[in-house]
Amino acid sequence: MTSPAPHSPVWHPFTQHATAPAPIEIAGAQGAYLRTPEGDLILDAISSWWVVTHGHCHPGIVAAIREQAEKLDQVIFAGFTHEPAEKLARALVEMAPPGLAHVFFSDSGSTAVEVALKMALGYWRNSGVPRTRVVALEHAYHGDTVGTMSAGARGVFNASYEPLLFDVTRVPFPAAGAEQETLDALEAACKADPVAALIVEPLILGAGGMLVWKAETLAEMRRICDRHDVLLIADEVMTGWGRTGTLFACEQAGITPDILCLAKGLTGGHLPLAATLCSEAIFHAHYSLDRAKTFFHSSSYTANPIACAAGLANIGIWRDEPVLERVANLASMHERRLAAIGGDDTFANVRQCGTIAALDLKVEYAGYLANAGPRLMEFFLSKGILLRPLGNTIYVMAPYCVTLEELDRVYSAIRAASAVVLSGGR
């Protein structure tokens, strides 16, 4: 088809430009709100794609960014270091589950996971027992680069790139009541082949549809990995920084992964930065007089000082403010509202994981490409609320500064939306 004369050269992410409405310009943001140039406010109920934790333009983080930008903007990180990176790495090791001793910086969730996969394979190769097989969960999402797409579920998102993707062993999602099947499949996979690593999104699969699973199952996976000498990679890019009710989701299972991926909320959602933490053993496997055992990875902006300063300011907020209390309050606000919605039979699979609430609108054709998604989004925007359903799955993932009144607005819009979408009208 011929495309209309473009108004803008910008190509937007996950956007079908032939059908999408014109993008909404945002000129400012504060707390839980985005502001258009005309001064209209939009309640950011998805934390601008899951990144903003405390709120937009948090004064402490903004001040740290400003201060660092005037001191040191950027420096090559091979052979050089700086205080923001050193302090941030130390703080991350202190806060993370015990046993994670080293921090590798990069700049997005995808690169954090790519680094994790490369660390895992490097560990095995450098140990002289090459293992390359990766095990991942059904419905997983780990990013949009070729390696992370390989670990992620296959579908319409990556069909064009299928020939480039490497093969992984897929185990079923541990849905409530079917956990044993997952564990059995994992055990069988570990016995069938020497497995390098299992990669999971702990407690809740995000882009796969906000699918919740149990901490006990994660603990059991840890035991299976230990039995078969398999590395466990926890992709906490979305679940980290309080989203699931604890600082990191792994805490709820009482486990330490061998590799932990962090991004999104690492800077409170203010600047792109990611960190991949690993055990002493993985670092040690790359520590050698043999230069061929070097961990060969870098991005130009590895540990950018301004981003690291934003990360440190975020950690300062976690230390100085009652963030976990806010998270607990937000979780109980969701719980009460979800309980009220439970009786509404236009919704199914009402679920929650900490500060994340999700429910499926009953429609004839479900899935990401379901028509319901864009129509719902348009409806919510007409109410001044940013929600971006995954197909017919509506989820709320607001910044922690959201108030009870604001959340009530979101829930009444959700209840009103069902009528609008099911009737096909506006």
Ligand X SMILES: *Cc1c(COP(=O)(O)O)cnc(C)c1O
**Token representation of residue 64:** 């740290």
Give the side-chain half-sphere CA count within 13 A for 351. Answer: 23
Decide the pairing of beta strands 204-205 and 211-212: antiparallel
- What is the distance between the alpha carbons of residues 60 and 314, in angstroms, rounded to a whole number? 8
**Token representation of residue 8:** 């803008």
- What is the distance between the alpha carbons of residues 416 and 126, in angstroms, rounded to a whole number? 57
Q: Given the complex with ligand X, which of 143 and 257 has the nearer CB atom?
A: 143
Range in contact with ligand X (rule: CB under 6 A) among 57-65, 68-76, 116-124, 201-209: 201-209
Q: Given the complex with ligand X, which of 154 and 284 has the nearer CB atom?
A: 154
203 residue type, one letter: L
Q: Helix, strand, or coil here: 44?
A: strand
Range in contact with ligand X (rule: CB under 6 A) among 58-66, 75-83, 230-238, 287-295: 230-238
Total of residues contacting ligand X (CB under 6 A) = 14
409 residue type, one letter: R
- What is the distance between the alpha carbons of residues 106 and 303, in angstroms, rounded to a whole number? 6
Q: Figure out which of the listed residues 179, 235, 258, 360 binds ligand X, where binding follows CB under 6 A.
A: 235
Listed in sequence order, the DSSP H helices in 243-365 are 250-253, 280-285, 305-320, 323-341
- Is position 263 an interface residue for ligand X (rule: CB under 6 A)? yes
**Token representation of residue 266:** 């690492």
Q: Given the complex with ligand X, which of 100 and 397 has the nearer CB atom?
A: 397
CB 116 within 8 A of CB 233: yes
Q: Given the complex with ligand X, which of 122 and 206 has the nearer CB atom?
A: 206
Q: Given the complex with ligand X, which of 236 and 406 has the nearer CB atom?
A: 236
Q: Given the complex with ligand X, which of 208 and 379 has the nearer CB atom?
A: 208
**Token representation of residue 85:** 């990176």
CA distance readout (Å), 303 to 64, 76, 171, 209: 15, 9, 34, 31
Nearest distance from C-beta of residue 275 to ligand X, angstroms: 12
Closest residue to ligand X, Cβ-based?
Answer: 109
Torsion of Cα atoms, 96 then 214 then 245 then 111, to 10°: 50
- Is position 304 an interface residue for ligand X (rule: CB under 6 A)? no
- Is position 201 an interface residue for ligand X (rule: CB under 6 A)? yes
Q: Figure out which of the listed residues 54, 131, 139, 142 binds ligand X, where binding follows CB under 6 A.
A: 142
Q: Figure out which of the listed residues 230, 237, 285, 309 binds ligand X, where binding follows CB under 6 A.
A: 237
CB 260 within 8 A of CB 250: yes
Q: Given the complex with ligand X, which of 395 and 411 has the nearer CB atom?
A: 395
Torsion of Cα atoms, 303 then 306 then 307 then 308, to 10°: 60
Q: Given the complex with ligand X, which of 65 and 263 has the nearer CB atom?
A: 263
Q: Helix, strand, or coil here: 82?
A: coil
- Is position 113 an interface residue for ligand X (rule: CB under 6 A)? yes
- What is the distance between the alpha carbons of residues 21 and 202, in angstroms, rounded to a whole number? 34
Q: Figure out which of the listed residues 44, 56, 106, 109 binds ligand X, where binding follows CB under 6 A.
A: 109
Chain centroid, CA 348 distance in Å = 24
- What is the distance between the alpha carbons of residues 79 and 77, in angstroms, rounded to a whole number? 6
- What is the distance between the alpha carbons of residues 330 and 245, in angstroms, rounded to a whole number? 9
- Is position 204 an interface residue for ligand X (rule: CB under 6 A)? no
- Is position 217 an interface residue for ligand X (rule: CB under 6 A)? no
- Is position 268 an interface residue for ligand X (rule: CB under 6 A)? no
Nearest distance from C-beta of residue 113 to ligand X, angstroms: 6
Range in contact with ligand X (rule: CB under 6 A) among 108-116, 176-184, 223-231, 402-410: 108-116
Q: Given the complex with ligand X, which of 109 and 257 has the nearer CB atom?
A: 109
- Is position 108 an interface residue for ligand X (rule: CB under 6 A)? yes
- Is position 391 an interface residue for ligand X (rule: CB under 6 A)? no
Q: Figure out which of the listed residues 206, 245, 305, 354 binds ligand X, where binding follows CB under 6 A.
A: 206
Beta bridge mates, 195: 133
Q: Given the complex with ligand X, which of 237 and 372 has the nearer CB atom?
A: 237
Nearest distance from C-beta of residue 136 to ligand X, angstroms: 11
- Is position 141 an interface residue for ligand X (rule: CB under 6 A)? yes
Range in contact with ligand X (rule: CB under 6 A) among 235-243, 277-285, 356-364, 405-413: 235-243
Straight-line distance from the first to the last Cα atom of the chain, in angstroms, rounded to the nearest whole number? 28
Beta bridge mates, 267: none
Range in contact with ligand X (rule: CB under 6 A) among 136-144, 189-197, 279-287, 330-338: 136-144
Q: Figure out which of the listed residues 47, 110, 267, 302 binds ligand X, where binding follows CB under 6 A.
A: 110
Provide the binding-site residues for ligand X, judged by CB under 6 A.
108-110, 113, 141-143, 201, 206-207, 235, 237-238, 263
